[in-house]
Amino acid sequence: MTRILVLHSVNLLGSALTALLRAEGAFEVAHAAWPGAEQEAESLRPDVCVVDADCPGAAAVLDRDRPARTGVLGRGAALLVLATPDRPGSLRRAFQAQAHGYVDKDGPAGRLVQAVHKVAGGGRSVDASLASALLENHAEPLSRRERSVLARAADGDSVAEIAHALHLARGTVRNYIASASRKVGARNRVDAIRICRQAGWV
């Protein structure tokens, strides 16, 4: 039986995805949010992790620098990402995270089930609409470090907390935030977070 961990910070949506997959009968499915996904992964030892690339907290698994990613995928679970063509930043992050499958959230529910079967068997699955969007995708303007800093700021971390977590000086953190804000044409840090979240970059 294929073991699946659905990672979604919105309980209603995560529960709906879990129910959909359980209805297939061939899956053992659990749902987890952040924080705490690592404990659920340790208990279930999933073959496939299904992640909505646009939900808050997805960066914990899509960002390869985050310890949470190792805790969830460290046992070799395949990463299956739910995304939409109009969020190029989310698609690019999923690609950089080396996702095994990409399912269009606007597609039929059966596509998710098919994709789970495929990636669980060691294959790859990419919906045509997302493949086209990936090929047409413009490069993300933020550097990896700018994205990491802004993602933590979006999570509510202070400059001091970000500096401590990333082993940077506080002035360096402020410089990264200012640089990211300039690159996306934001008025301030809050505006930069808004713009980057809409694009799916953080």
The per-residue pLDDT for range 55-105, each reduced to its tens digit, is 877 877 887 777 777 778 866 889 999 999 888 778 888 888 889 999 999
Nearest Cα neighbor of 194 from 115, 119, 89 is 89
pLDDT of residue 97: 84
- The type of residue at 16 is A
What are all long-range contacts of 19-28, with beta carbons under 8 Å and residues at least 24 apart? 20/109, 20/112, 20/113, 21/50, 21/112, 21/113, 21/116, 24/113, 26/1, 26/2, 27/1, 27/2, 27/3, 27/116, 28/1, 28/2, 28/3, 28/4
pLDDT of residue 136: 62
pLDDT of residue 139: 62
Q: For the chain, which ranges sit under pLDDT 50?
A: none
Measured distance between the N- and C-terminal CA atoms of the chain, rounded to whole angstroms: 34
